[in-house]
Structure formats: structure tokens, C-alpha cells
Amino acid sequence: MDNVNPYHPGIVLKNFPEIYNKLKSDSCVDLLLDTFIDKDITPRFAYTHSIVFKDIFYYIDLLYDHNPKTVIDVGCGECEWKNWFPGIIGFDPMPATTYSKYDFIDYFDEEFSRGHTENYDCGMGLNSVHDVPWDKLEKQIHLAMNIVKDRFLFTFNFSIINHNSKNKFTKMDDNINYLDAILHKMPYNIVMLDYPTHRNKNETTSTRSYINGDVRFILEKGTI
């Protein structure tokens, strides 16, 4: 297992210092509430609009190292990242309520990937492209990489993958080792690979893990 450029509290956003200053000025903390008032909005929407989830900003910031003009948000939900980052294009099979700023409705699958080959400079799927079993995960990652020219940010929740798999892993280290083996044989550069559960054991059961995943990684083709 390798951790490449893992997030740590207080890290500066190099591409968007104004966002970093905003986060600092609001004195936000890396704590999450387990309840929210409006049952019609998703947890991510509630938390990002309260600016209480700093680490995901660090990962998204890395997508902009090569000045992408378009960043596709797969399974965008409310597509709230448009409030923070430029060039975001979001789609979702079921956009969340009237709050959503999505651009179009669609499913992410093989047909979508073929029809959008390198249509976007970068992309991200925050707990949205992991809805497959372990034996199909490698192909799913390739399908996501196919629609971008440069980088793609993935976050996965291992419990979702195991739920969809016949052969399940009960130990966190087994999940990590299996995914690690997949990533290191792929023909992409690993820009960032972070298993936050190894930094904070509470991640395995917290809302934080539910929203932003047990693992976060960025793969790069570098053809932008």
C-alpha cells in the first residue's frame, strides 16, 4: 500500500488560494453533523454549504494542475462544486431535487463512456462510480478514464463495492490491498492515492467515509 500526496489538515490549495482563504476565514472544522434539517437534500450538499468538509477541496484542486477547461462531475447530485470551481459540468441519473445545478441527465455506463471518449479535460466521481462488484471495478475505472484527456478523481466506499460482490472483504486492509493491486497495474500515472482510514480509524464508520469514501485517488493520462 502506498499513500501518494495524502491530504493533511492545513494544507494550502495551490491552484485556488482564494478558496483556501475562504475556508480559513470561515474557521471551519473537520467535523460532521449526523443530522440535517432538510430531508430532501443530500449530506454532501448540506456539508459543503456549511463548509465543514475541507479535505475534498484539496483533491479537487489537484485536478486543475494543467488548467483544464472542462471537468465532468459524474453522479453530480446537486452539482454544488459549481459554486467553488470553474468549468464543472455535472450529470446524474436522478438529480437531487430543485437544488441541483446539473447540466444533463444520464447514466454512467459503457455506452456513455464510448460516446464521450476524451470529451472532457478532467473528471471526478465522488462515491458515484463504485456501484459495481470487485471483479468489474477495473473496467469501471477504465471507462471513467476514457472520457477524460488528463486526470480523474475517484472516491470509493468499500462497503458499496462489497455489497455488490459475491466475494466480499471483511477487513479494511483486504479492501485496500485488492484495490492497490488494481491501480498499480493500470497504464495511468497515480497522481494521488490516499487511504484516509489509515490516518483516522473513525473514517470506517463515520459520515465522512459515507460521503467522500474510504479511498481517494487521482489517475492521469496526461494528454491534455
Local structure of residue 4 (DSSP, 8 states)? B
The answer to whether residue 197 sits within a structural domain is yes
The answer to whether residue 9 sits within a structural domain is no
Which residue carries 465543514 as its cell?
52
- Contacts for 35 with CB less than 8 Å, ≥ 6 apart: none
CATH code at position 86: 3.40.50.150
CA distance 52 to 198: 21
The answer to whether residue 168 sits within a structural domain is yes
201: closest CA among 174, 173, 167? 173
pLDDT at 100: 77
pLDDT at 42: 58
DSSP assignment string, 90-149:
EEESS--TTT---SEE---SHHHHHHTTT-BSEEEEESSS--S-HHHHHHHHHHHHHTBS
The answer to whether residue 29 sits within a structural domain is yes
Per-residue pLDDT of the chain (224 residues; tens, 9 = 90+): 567 777 776 778 899 988 877 776 554 444 334 444 455 555 555 555 554 456 788 899 999 999 999 999 999 888 888 888 999 999 998 866 666 788 999 999 999 999 999 999 999 999 899 999 999 999 999 999 999 999 999 999 898 999 999 989 988 889 999 999 999 999 999 999 988 766 655 545 555 556 778 889 999 997 76
The answer to whether residue 8 sits within a structural domain is no
**Domain tally for the chain?**
1
pLDDT at 7: 72
pLDDT at 30: 40
The answer to whether residue 200 sits within a structural domain is yes
pLDDT at 185: 93
pTM, entire model: 0.86
The answer to whether residue 6 sits within a structural domain is no
pLDDT at 214: 84
The answer to whether residue 57 sits within a structural domain is yes
Owning domain of residue 204: 17-220
